[in-house]
Amino acid sequence: MHLRSGERICVRTVDDEGIPIVRYGTVASDNRTNGPVAVLFDDLSGGDLVDASEVERIDYDTIELHLHGEDLLSDSVLRAGLPTMWRAEANLAGLTVEAMFPLGDNNAGIADGDTWVLAEFNIAGTTHIVRATRSASSPTTVIVRADRANRWDGFF
């Protein structure tokens, strides 16, 4: 993967206790090989070398929250807060969402099959939809993410 200096990236790893960690940063220098990538992490001073296989480019449709709690989908008040949590994670990653428009009664989203369509926002003329769904591998985990709106596919 070719990474350019200044690109925003994330690295997903686990800490010493096995707890998942997502760290955001910026590529420090061009990397044209599959060798280590020089990264300036937002939460550390100085740089670090990271294996290229662990680095992911950041975009609005790559930010995901994995939250434990079945009630996050079943309770409308909790569900209404999920887009704000996703937006905060996007901001932490260095992405800006100027305006987000909640959907549904009391901003609690609209059921769309097994998922909930929670909010929409526009970036450079492209509409994105914030959705929440249960994880296929862990039914007590809720995944919140944004996807580009496909008006011919599903709800939008």
Which pLDDT tens digit goes with each residue over 51-85?
Answer: 888 899 999 999 999 999 989 999 999 999 999 99
Q: Domain coordinates of the chain in residue numbers?
A: 8-57, 64-148
The pTM of the full predicted model, rounded to 2 decimals, is 0.85
115 in Cβ contact with 132 (< 8 Å): yes
| Predicted pLDDT at 94 | 93
Which pLDDT tens digit goes with each residue over 101-112?
Answer: 999 999 999 998
Query: Tell me, which fold does domain 64-148 have in CATH?
Result: Phosphorylase Kinase; domain 1 (3.30.200)
| Predicted pLDDT at 152 | 55
Q: What type of residue is 91?
A: N
| Nearest CA-CA partner of 73 in 2, 144, 152, 150 | 144
Mean pLDDT of 120-130: 94
77 in Cβ contact with 113 (< 8 Å): no
Dist CA 61 CA 145 (whole Å) = 7
72 in Cβ contact with 134 (< 8 Å): no
